[in-house]
Structure 1
Amino acid sequence: MNSALSPEHSQLASDARRFAVTHFVNTEYYDLHEKFPEDIWRSAGEEGLLGSFIQKKYGGRELGYLAHTLIMEEFWRVDPGIGNILLSVFGAELLQQFGSEEQKAFWLPLLAKGKAISCCAITEPDAGSDIFNVSTLATKLENGWSLTGSKQFITNANRADLILIFAVTDQSPGAKTKAFSFFLSDRGGSGLSAQKMSGKMGIRASDTAEIRFTDRFLPGENLLGDLPGNGFAQAMSLFNINRLFACGQGVGIAQGSLDLLLQYLRENPSHASSQIIQYRVAEMATSIEASRQLYLWAGYNLDRNNADPGLIAMAKLFAGETGVRVVREAVKLAGPKAAAGGHPLSRFYRDAKIVEIYEGAKDLEKLTIARQVLTAR
């Protein structure tokens, strides 16, 4: 499948690898202090690494979602926390697909160039993988909407310039999938507050926050799309895309862990001669390559408007499990120092688990896969 990558994709992956190796320095500092790497984010925007899927007319490279996933893999291979600077464009996928020309022309160039940050506010205290439990309410007014509710575990909510908010717009019992809509909001005005979460287990260089809306007024034109009630369909499209991005995270952290283990074995050749260690290395390398090939195929189809939710769920499930398993094995094989605070593998161990949780917990991926398999003809 690697041979099916375009020369632009291959070059982009090489550029991303070179950028990460060069710029992702002082990684322990960003993790220890839970500090967003703003300078690195801005540099990535200047290098054109943030907007690979954004259309050229809006300042991006227009190389598709697979391109963004390839960059994600290379960034997470070097450092997952800093690598999440790519989530500074989270929500641009929705905006590009469903936004008005005015909305896209204003926001997408800023996001692509690292001059603005977006976030997508879906998850709530009582609504994680099951978005039907979302309770943030958008009430229709004569000249707009009033939003009240709260969101949690929202990446970059404390620093986002643009917030895409998933809310209930129809409370009638029969509304079902037509009950929800997305809205665009900037940070200005009253009725919005955000609080950064501290003390996370992993990806600590990536900000996560709680956000609250209290009678937050939004003009009618801030609705995403022409009519209310399309939020569920829009969210399903977003999940397909961002689950692919998560595959790059899982494969990236696995490959980075194997890289660190191989470095250790080169420095300790007597350990590398052990057949048991060679068995484990072979298993790790095989899982990584299988995960990579699975997401490449899923991304290839997604970029050709042939999204396969079951295939994407398989890729995300396998990549997440591979990331956790390979990091765990690498820590075991690299000796006690690898488990010590400050060692990259120790940090990777804490970072890996999130891939099995966000963008749909792993059991939700299994349900998606099972439904597709059981209904196949």
Structure 2
Amino acid sequence: MDFGLPSEHRMIRDTVREFAEAEIEPIAQEIEDEHRFPAEVFEELGGLDLMGVPIAEEYGGAGGDQLMYALVTEELGRVSGSIGLSYAAHTSLGTKPIEAFGTEAQKEEWLTPLARGEGIAAWALTEPGSGSDASNMDTVAEKDGDEWVINGTKQFITNANVARSILVKAVTDPGAGYDGISTFIVDPKNDDGFEVSTVWEKMGLNASPTCELQFDDLRIPEDRLLGEVGEGWEQTMKTLEGGRISIAALSTGLAQGAYEAAKRYAGDREQFGQPISKFDAIRDKIVSMDRKIERARLLTHKAAWAYDEGMDTTRISSLAKLDASEVSREVAEDAVQVLGGYGYTEDFSPQRFYRDAKLMEIGEGTSEIQHVVLGRQLGL
């Protein structure tokens, strides 16, 4: 697991692992049962300088790279999918684009507090009528003097009801297609015309809020435009490359947590006078789980490395996300099976990993969309 990792990366990973096992794992099921966003955990992550891992130090971040960020995300997912998901959405979707596309003034006002852990971020792309076809959006932003006026609905937005800022995609030129989409910084606490209309009850990941947003003549100053008018779709594509790597890392973490629970149980549980790990059927499951996780981790690390090298990561990030998300679900399902009846109870973690893992095949581009992306990359 340490193969090729620089010492600084191993140190950060081990720090997060110790924190996660001591502070998150004991409450992981509790916050799911309560459907409670654990703000105190994110405050502690901020205190550890982990809320801006891939953000430059001059903007309050840790100055780390994508690989370091992937390691942190994996370790959080290893104990809590919800915390890992909210962390990933904050970092890769809500924070990183401000560094990549924002003005110096925007970075000072919006990026620095997020990187320091003084607030959490969100990113609003999906709409009720546009899921996989994310470009087919109805939310519009019209210029009125020195303000932008936003109207529309966004759906399945992570962190929105606890966010300090939300990056919102809206159509600014209805006739321009992909070139008619722009990005805006919304302050959900202070901007009039913004409402969280629904916080969804979900199959899993219920300590990570997923929201529907309504914009009703929301007025924001013109300096809240991120980048230039019409650059929103290009920004989205670049953002999703990093986002898919983070979901691959989170998926790997979920699989690792499920595998460890199954392996531990199989070593302790005895049937017919011996641990069930000694039976071929159980041993072969656990070996297969370990093999799949190593494959997913290597793909994820390769994608993160390519990202850090400035390479085109469209193919490798999509491949990592596709493989790791499916591995996550497969391993979690096998973990439930290893535990048998106990695996179906909330006294053991595999059921939580199983429910959480399913979203990994849906969010940030479904598995079906990843096949489309990869097919295009292969010239098919």
TM-score by length of 2: 0.95
| Contact 2:342/2:348, CA 8 A, preserved across alignment | yes
Specify the SS of the correspondent of 2:346: coil
SS in 2 for 1:167: strand
- Residue in structure 2 matched with residue 345 of structure 1 by the alignment: 350
| SS of 2:155 mapped into structure 1 | strand
Name the CA distance, whole Å, in 2 between partners of 1:260 and 1:30: 19
Assess if the C-alpha contact under 8 Å between 2:94 and 2:167 holds in 1.
yes
What CA deviation, in whole Å up to 9, does each residue of 1:79-107 have, x standing for no partner?
Answer: 21233341333311110000010111122
Residue 214 (structure 2) pairs with residue 212 (structure 1)? yes
Show CA shifts across 1:271-322 (max 9, x none).
1111121111111111000010001001101011113201111100000000
Cα distance between partner residues in 1 of 2:305 and 2:2: 11
Distance 1:189-1:63 versus aligned 2 partners, 3 A rule: closer
Residue ranges of structure 1 left out of the alignment (5+ in a row): none
Q: Which amino acid aligns with 2:23?
A: H
Match of 1:136 in 2: 139
Q: Which runs of 5+ in 2 are unaligned?
A: none
Deviations 1:171-219 (A, max 9, x none): 11xx122110000111213111113424211111101111110111111
Aligned to 2:54: 53
Map 1:244-283; keep pairs closer than 5 Å.
244-268=245-269, 269-283=274-288
Question: What is the CA-CA distance between 1:342 and the residue it aligns to?
Answer: 3.7
Of 129-138 and 352-361, deviating more is 129-138
Match of 2:299 among 294, 301, 304: 294
Which residue in the other structure is 1:166 paired with?
A: 169
Look up the match of 1:327.
332
Counterpart in the other structure of 2:73:
72
Q: Does 1:235 align with 2:240?
A: no
In structure 2, how many angstroms separate the alpha carbons of the residues matched to 1:308 and 1:41? 29
Partner of 2:21: 21
Q: Is the contact made by 2:167 and 2:185 (CA closer than 8 Å) also made in structure 1?
A: yes
- Which shifted more, 147-156 or 182-191? 182-191
One-letter code aligned to 2:11:
Q
Alpha-carbon spacing, 1:365–1:123, altered in 2? closer, same or farther (3 Å): same
Q: Within 2, Cα distance between the matches of 1:251 and 1:243?
A: 12
Residues in 2 aligned to 1:273 and 1:342: alpha-carbon distance in whole angstroms: 24
Corresponding residue for residue 62 of structure 1: 63
Structure 1 contact 240–307 (Cα < 8 Å) conserved: no
Aligned counterpart in structure 1 of residue 148 of structure 2, from 145, 153, 178: 145
Q: CA deviation at 1:130?
A: 1.2
How far did 1:147 drift?
A: 0.4
Q: Distance in 1 between matches of 2:200 and 2:156?
A: 11
C-alpha distance in 1 between matches for 2:66 and 2:75: 15
3-state SS of 2:185 partner: strand
1:110 maps to 113
Partners in 2 of 1:189 and 1:327 — Cα distance? 41
Structure 2 residue 10 is matched with structure 1 residue 5: no
CA contact (8 A) 2:67 2:304 kept: yes
**TM norm structure 1:** 0.96
Paired position in structure 1 for 2:100: 97
> Is residue 373 of structure 1 aligned with residue 375 of structure 2?
no
The one-letter code matched in structure 1 to 2:315 is: G
Amino acid at match of 1:214: D
In the alignment, structure 1 residue 199 sits paired with structure 2 residue 204: no
Distance 2:259 2:34 in 1: 26
Deviation per CA, 1:49-105, whole angstroms, max 9, x where unpaired?
Answer: 221101011111111122111111111111212333413333111100000101111
SS at match of 2:43: helix
Aligned-CA RMSD value? 1.4
